[in-house]
Structure 1
Amino acid sequence: MRFTALAFALASALLPHVAAAQSPEEPEPRNADSATDLDAVVVTATRNPTDALLVPAAIDVIGAGEINRAQPRIDLSESLQRVPGVVARDRQNQAQDLQVSIRGFGARAAFGVRGVQLYTDGIPATMPDGQGQVSHFPLESAGRIEVLRGPFSALYGNASGGVIELFTAAAPADPTVRAGYTAGADGLRRGSLSFHTPWGRDDHGDLLVDLVNIDSDGYRDHSAARRTSGQALLRGDVGGGRFTVLFNGLDVEADDPQGLTAEQLQGDRRAASEGALTFDTRKTVRQDQFGARFERDVSAHHAFTVTAWAGNRATTQMLSVPVFVQRSTPLHNGGAIDLDRDYRGIDGRWRWSTDLAGRPFSLTAGFDHEVSDEHRLGFENFIGDTVGVVGALRRDEHNRVTGNDAYLQAEWAPAERWRVDLGVRRSRVRFESDDRFVSDINPDDSGALEYSRTSPVAGVLFRATPWLSVFANAGAGFETPTFSELAYRSDDQGGLNDALQPARSRNYEVGLRARRPAWEYSAALFHSRTEDELVVAANEGGRSVYDNAGTTVRRGAELALEGELAPRWHVAGAYTFLDARYAEDFAVCGTPSCAQDDVVIEDGRHIPGLARHTAWAELRWSPYDTTDVMLQGRFVDRVYADDANTAAAPAYASFDLAAEHRFHAAGLDWRAFARINNLFDRDIVGSVIVNASGGRYFEPAPGRHAVVGLSASKAFR
C-alpha cells in the first residue's frame, strides 16, 4: 500500500508536465532550486570571508537547495553524506544523537559528537571539553552548511578533525510564513512552522522564528522518540556594525534500544536488546541556548568581532547496568544519570588589514574564554526487585571545565597568484570535580586535571589558473577527553579517570580545487599521526570507559565533483579512502572491573567505527523548472566494531529514489516531495557501537521505506 501511494505521488508530480511538454511554449527560466550555481562561493570557516577557491584548506559548502530538495530534514546526515571525508550516521536512536566523524576523528563517540567543532551562525555549539550535539541544528531555515576539514580546524581549539558550521538563510524580500508536514514509515511525523521577515529599510535586518516537532515510533522496538526544537534569530545593523542575536531550544524524549549482537542481527533486526527492555532504557534532554554576535569595521584597516553565549543542558538517562554489579561494588556510580549543565563563553577578535611588501596582508588576534558548570548525580536503577526506576543515590558531584585560548592568524598574498596562511592557538583546559557524596566507605574523590597545548598551522595556495587552485598545509591538533569520558574508571572506583591524557595529532594535507563554467571538483590527500589516541576501553550497559591507545595513523584521499552532464541533467559525487590503523601495540582493560590491562591490541589493527571506502553519488533530472527527480546511491565498506577487529558490520550499497514538485495554487507557494529510501530493501547496519560489551555492536538501519512531505508558504507583499 505504501509504495502504491508513493508511486501515485511521483506520478502526480510529473503528469502535469507531460501535458506541458506537448505545448510549443518555451519553458520558464529555471529557479534557484533547480539551477546549478557555480559562481564564487564565499566561505567563513577560516574566520574571514573568502572565496572558497582561495582557501588553502579542504572546505565544502552545502547550499540551501541540497539541504531542502526532497529531504525530510530530520537530521544532518541527509546533507553531510555529499561531503568527502565526513561520515554522519543516523543511528535510528535519538537517545544517542548522530555519529559524526571527519577523517576518522570522532568515531569513538558513544553519543554526541567528539573531535569536531560545531557552530550555528557563528555561535559555538561545542562545550569547552570538546563535547557537542547536532540535534538542535535548525535545518528548517538553513541557508548553507560549511565543512572545514584538516589542519586548519586547530585554530578553533579542542578539535582534531574539522569544523561544521550552519548558517541561517538570508531574509526574504517580503514577510513570509511557511508551514510543512512530513510523514513516513514507522510512524514518522514532522511538523514545522516558520516566520521570516525583513525589517527596517534597505536590507537593514531580518527576524526569524521557527518551530519543528518530530515524532517517531522508531524502526526498532523500544526506539520511539519525540523531539521539539525552536529558534528565534534577529539580525541587523546598529552602531555602524552588524549584530546577530540567536536563541534556540531543544526538548527530546527518546527510548534507547541499544545494540544487537551478530546473532540477534540475523534474527529480528527490529528487536531491542534484552537489557533495554528490562530496564526501560531511555533519555531526556532539555537544552536552551542564547548567543549574541557583533561585528564592526572601525576603519578601512581595522575591524573587530565579539561573540558571547550562554546556555543550559539538562539530561536524564536510564542505563541497563545489571543490579548485581551495583550491589557487589560499593563504589559503583549506579545505573541512572541526572546531569544539569550550565555553560557560557565569550570570544573577541581584532582584524588588521594592511600591505606587507606592497601586497595584501591581514592579521587576526583573538581570545576565547569558556566555562561549563555541571551537577552530576548517579543513582541505582532499581528499588528492591523493581528495575528501570531511579533508586538510591550513588554519586553527587559538581564539575567545572574552564577553557582559555588565545589565537593569532595571518594571511598574506606575497605574489599575484600566491596566498600564505599562518596561525597558532594556545589552549588551556582545566577540569575540576568536587565530590559531594562522601562517607566512611566512599572516600572523597574530588580532584582536578589541567591540559595545555600550543597548536600551530600553516598553509600555502597557488592559483595555477583563474579556475584552478592547488594548496598544501600542515598543523598540530589537540583534543582533550570530555568530562563524560573522564567520568568512569575501568576499576569501577569513583572519581575522575585521571589516567586519561589528551590526544595530540600532527596533520598534513595537499589538494586542489577547480571551478569551471559547468563543473566544480576538488581532491585532497591527507596524513595524520596521533599520540595518545582516545579509545573506548569498554562499553557496557550504555556506560563507556575510555583509555589512551598510543599512536595511530590516518591517511587517505578525498574526491568531490558537481556539474551538468547535459541540459537539465545534474550529477554530484563524493568519494573517501581512509586507512586508519593503530601504529603500536597497546593494552586496555577489556571488561570492568579489572585491576590491570588484560587485552592487548596489536599494531596494524584498523581503528573501529571507520570504513576504508565510502562513496556517494546523485543523478538529478530536472525535466521542468519546477520538478526534480533524483537517484542517489551510496557505498560503505566494512566497518570494524572492536579494537581487535574480530567483529565487523558488512559492506553495503544502497539507493534512494526521490522527486520534488514546486507549484503555485490558491495564493500559496507549494513544495511537495516523495522518496523511497533503500530502494532495493538491503539489510544494512547503519552504525556500530565501538567495543560494546557482550558483542552488542550493531545498530541496524531500516529496509525499504517511504517518506512524503508537503509545505506551503505565503509572502505578504
Structure 2
Amino acid sequence: MIVFSRSVYGIRLSLLFFTLFFGYIAKAQQDSVPVIELDTVVIEAARLQVSKDELPASVSVKEFGAVQQNLQQLTANDYLQGIPGLFVLNSNNFAQDTRISIRGFGARSAFGIRGVRLVIDGIPETTPDGQGQVDNLNLGLIERIEVLRGASSSLYGNASGGVINVSTKSDFTRDFVELSSAIGSYNFQTFQAIAGIGNKKSKTVLFANRTTSDGFRANSRFETNQFNLRTKWKTGDKTGLNFQLNYTDSPIAQDAGGITQEDVDMDRTLARDRNVDFDTGESVRQFKTGVALQWRPSKLNVNSFVYYSYRDFANKLPFSFGGAVDLVRNYWGHGSNASFDFFKDKGLLTAQVGYELASQNDRRTRFINDLGSLGDVTLQQNEIFQNLGAFAILQSKIKKWIFRGGIRYDNNILEVEDTFLENGDASDRIVLNTINPSVGLRFKVDKNQSLFANFATSFETPVLSELSANPNDDGGFNRNLNEQTSTTFEGGYTYSKPKFRLETTVFYIETEDDIVPFELEAFPDRTFFRNAGSAERFGVEVATVFWLNNTIRFNASYAWSRFTYNRFEIPLGNFNGNRLPGIPEHLAFLQGLYRSQKGLVIRWNMQYRGDFFANDSNAVTEASAVISNLSVSQKLSFDGWNLSPYFGVNNLFDTQYNDNVRLNAFGGRFFEPAPGINVYGGLRISL
C-alpha cells in the first residue's frame, strides 16, 4: 500500500505538472476571449423538473459528448470522478462490478451497487430490491450524468441514499456513423460502432461494442459484448415516445479474489490460490427493453413508462458447498406521473403526483463447486420482490423563496419459495410499509448567490441475495436482517458568476440498522450481512469550476466525511465510536481540461483519497493514495469525415494502492491491488 509520504510526493508531482503544462497553454491563449455564461441546467432526476439553481438539494451534473472522445471507456469511474461525496472502488474486477457509494450509502456492497438508485434514460436500472449493475451500461453513449447526493426515497423509494441519472446520446443534427478501436496494457482491446439515423419525426441511435482484457492480475480476464438501440419518435405536436433496447453478453469475467497484505507485498499481480482452484468468476447475459411516453398538453405534463428485463447469471465462488450459483432473474416495472401548474401565468405553484409498480423474480440454484465443475444441488428457491409506490411533489416560487416538498408511500412484499425440500421447507414472507417525506427551501440572496436547506428520509431493504445469505445455511431468508433507515439534514451555499461557480454543502445523517457485510470462519469465502444499531454521518462537500478562458477549464472538489458507529456491539467486539469502513475521511479531486477550436483535447486529473478502514474494528487500514491520469486526443477533418486519434496514461505516477478493499474479510484477505502505470490508445472515425 502507498504510504503518506508517497502521497505527498504524488501531489507535488501533479501540481507541478498542472502549473507547467496548463500555464504554458494559458500563455498561448492569452488573447481576449468571450465571456462564458453558465447555462440554465434542468435537473431531470428531481422528477418535477427544476433548474439546478432552484433545487433545494445537493446535485452534481457532468456533461460529456465530444469531450469524452479521449476516455478509455472501460470503467464508469472515468465518468463519475470529481463528484463530491461519491466514492468508487473495484473498477478493475469485472466479476464483482464497480462499487459506488454516495455519502457512504453503497459502501457495504460485496458486488454491484447497493443503496444508490440508478436510472438510465428515464428507465430504472436498479432492481426493485435495490440491486444495480453497470456491466450493461454503454459507456460510449453517455452524454450527461446527474447525481442527487442525498436521501431521495420521497422520489424513488427503496435504496435511494443517492440517485445517479444517466442520459445517453439521442439528439443529432445529421445522420452519422462512428467507428473506433483501441488497444492498451494487459491486452486490452475494444471495437465500437455507433450510428445515428433520423428525420423530422424520429431519431435512432444504434450501438455495438466488444471489449476484452487479460486484466492486471492473474485470473482476471474478461470479455463483454453489447448492443443498444434507442429511438425517439415525435408522434404529434404534444406527444413523443422513447424506445430502448439493450443486450449484453459477458461470457467470462474471472475473479482474482482478495489477498493478504503479505501477498500484496510479495506480488501485486497474484490471484488467490483458492480462486484459481475453484475457477471463480461469472458469466452474464442480460436483455432489457422499455418504452416511455411523454404527453404535453397546455396545462398538463404526463410521463409514463414500462420496462422488462431478463438476466441470466452464473458464477463460481472459492468454496465447495453451494459455491456454484445459477440465477435467472425476470423483473418488470411500470410508472406514471402527471405534473400541473396552479396560477401558471405567475409560476407560483407546481405539483406532481405519480405511482410505480415493480416486480422481481429471482430463481436461485446453488450447486457444489467441485474445483470448477458443477456438482449436486444444495439450494433451490424462488425469491420475489414486489413494490407499489405512490408519491406527490409540490413546488412553489414566491419572490426570492423556493419551496419544495415531497412524500412517498411504499408497500414492499418479499417472498421466498423453497423448492429444495430435502432439508425442510424454508419458505417465508416479509411485508414492509414505509412513508418517506422530504422538505426543502432555497433563498436567492441575489442573482449570484443562494442558500438552501432540506430535510429528507430514506430506507433500504436488504437485497434478495443478502437475505438469502443465511448463516444458518438452511435456505430461506435471514430473518435477523432488517431494513436500514436514515434521516438527513443538509444546508448549502452556491455562488455563480460567468466563468466561475462554487458550491458548498454541510450535512448530518442519522442511520438505524446499517446493513454491514461480514464473513464467518465456519463458512470461509462467503459474505453474510447483519445490522449495526445506529450510526451518524457528518460531512462537508465543496465543488468549484473555473474557466480560465474559452479553451481551458479547471474543476475541483473536496469531501470531508466523518462517519461513525453510534451503537454497534457483537459478541466479538464493541465498535461504538469506530469509523464506518470503506469510506475515506478526505477525498479530493482536481482536473484541468484544454479544448482548442482546432480539435485538440487534453485532460489531466488527480484524485487524493485519504486512508480508510477495512473492517468494523478499525484494526486494518488502507493507506492514502494519489492517482493521476492523462489523456490526449486530436480531431482531424477531411472533406466530410473526421479522424480522431487518442492516447491515455492511467496511474501516471505508478502509485501502489488497492483498487478494492473487501470489508470485514476473514483471514486478512482484504485487498485487491490496482494496476500500476498503464496506457491505451485508439482511433475514432466519424462519417
Range of TM-score over shorter length:
over 0.9
Distance 1:582 1:236 in 2: 51
The 5 Å alignment of 1:103-118 reads 103-118=103-118
Determine which of 369, 377, 389 is the counterpart of 1:393. Answer: 377
Number of the residue aligned with 1:409: 393
Give the root-mean-square deviation of aligned CA atoms.
2.2
Number of the residue aligned with 1:13: none
* 2:679 paired with 1:698: no
Number of the residue aligned with 2:584: 611
* 2:305 paired with 1:335: no
Conserved? CA contact 2:169–2:205, under 8 Å: no
The 5 Å alignment of 1:15-30 reads none
Number of the residue aligned with 1:329: none
Distance 1:363 1:657 in 2: 46
* 2:459 paired with 1:478: yes
Number of the residue aligned with 2:262: 263
Conserved? CA contact 1:232–1:246, under 8 Å: yes
Q: How many residues get paired? A: 658
Distance 1:301 1:662 in 2: 45
Number of the residue aligned with 1:377: 365
Distance 1:601 1:76 in 2: 36
The one-letter amino acid paired with 1:256 is: D
Q: Which secondary structure state, in structure 1, belongs to the residue aligned with residue 517 of structure 2?
A: strand
Number of the residue aligned with 2:419: 436
Q: Which shifted more, 526-535 or 566-575?
A: 566-575
Determine which of 647, 668, 693 is the counterpart of 2:641. Answer: 668
Number of the residue aligned with 2:227: 230
Number of the residue aligned with 2:556: 573
Distance 1:515 1:153 in 2: 29
Determine which of 584, 609, 632 is the counterpart of 1:659. Answer: 632
* 2:312 paired with 1:319: no
- Structure 1 residues 28-75: Cα deviation after superposition (integer angstroms, max 9, x where no partner): 999xxxx96622112211113322111111111110158614211112
- Structure 1 residues 163-221: Cα deviation after superposition (integer angstroms, max 9, x where no partner): 1011122421111000111211111111110111222x2xx331011011110000100
For the structure 1 residues 500 and 307, does the alpha-carbon distance in structure 2 shift closer, same or farther, using more than 3 Å as the test? Answer: same
* Post-superposition offset of 1:648: 1.7
Q: TM-score, normalised by structure 1?
A: 0.88
The 5 Å alignment of 1:584-663 reads 584-587=567-570, 598-622=571-595, 625-663=598-636
Number of the residue aligned with 1:15: none
Distance 1:79 1:90 in 2: 15
Distance 1:89 1:29 in 2: 40
Distance 1:391 1:217 in 2: 28
Distance 2:347 2:395 in 1: 11
Number of the residue aligned with 2:5: none
Conserved? CA contact 1:160–1:505, under 8 Å: no
The one-letter amino acid paired with 1:579 is: R
Number of the residue aligned with 1:458: 439
Distance 1:630 1:392 in 2: 53
Distance 2:85 2:602 in 1: 26
- Structure 1 residues 638-663: Cα deviation after superposition (integer angstroms, max 9, x where no partner): 12111111112111112222212111
* 2:256 paired with 1:272: no
Distance 2:241 2:597 in 1: 40
Distance 2:328 2:649 in 1: 40
* Post-superposition offset of 1:359: 5.4
Q: TM-score, normalised by structure 2?
A: 0.92
Distance 1:26 1:511 in 2: 35
Conserved? CA contact 1:28–1:625, under 8 Å: no
* Post-superposition offset of 1:92: 1.4
Conserved? CA contact 1:216–1:224, under 8 Å: yes
Conserved? CA contact 1:472–1:509, under 8 Å: yes
Q: Which secondary structure state, in structure 2, belongs to the residue aligned with residue 78 of structure 1?
A: helix
- Structure 1 residues 322-377: Cα deviation after superposition (integer angstroms, max 9, x where no partner): x4xx3xxxxxxx11100001000100112121129965211111111100011110
Conserved? CA contact 2:75–2:91, under 8 Å: no
Distance 2:33 2:231 in 1: 33
Conserved? CA contact 1:42–1:52, under 8 Å: yes
The one-letter amino acid paired with 1:307 is: F
Q: Which secondary structure state, in structure 2, belongs to the residue aligned with residue 173 of structure 1?
A: coil
Conserved? CA contact 2:85–2:103, under 8 Å: yes
* 2:477 paired with 1:496: yes
The 5 Å alignment of 1:241-320 reads 241-252=239-250, 253-298=252-297, 300-320=298-318
Distance 2:92 2:656 in 1: 14
Q: Which runs of 4+ in 1 moved over 4 A?
A: 25-30, 356-359, 539-542
For the structure 1 residues 264 and 67, does the alpha-carbon distance in structure 2 shift closer, same or farther, using more than 3 Å as the test? Answer: farther
Determine which of 545, 549, 552 is the counterpart of 1:562. Answer: 545
For the structure 1 residues 420 and 357, does the alpha-carbon distance in structure 2 shift closer, same or farther, using more than 3 Å as the test? Answer: farther
Q: Which secondary structure state, in structure 2, belongs to the residue aligned with residue 424 of structure 1?
A: strand
Structure 1 gaps, min length 5: 1-17, 327-333, 588-597
Distance 1:110 1:36 in 2: 44
Conserved? CA contact 1:153–1:163, under 8 Å: no
Conserved? CA contact 2:36–2:550, under 8 Å: no
Q: Which shifted more, 64-73 or 655-664?
A: 64-73
Number of the residue aligned with 1:520: 501
For the structure 1 residues 359 and 198, does the alpha-carbon distance in structure 2 shift closer, same or farther, using more than 3 Å as the test? Answer: closer
Q: Which shifted more, 251-260 or 337-346?
A: 251-260
* Post-superposition offset of 1:605: 0.8
Number of the residue aligned with 1:547: 530
* 2:211 paired with 1:214: yes
Number of the residue aligned with 2:179: 179
The one-letter amino acid paired with 1:604 is: G
The one-letter amino acid paired with 1:434 is: E
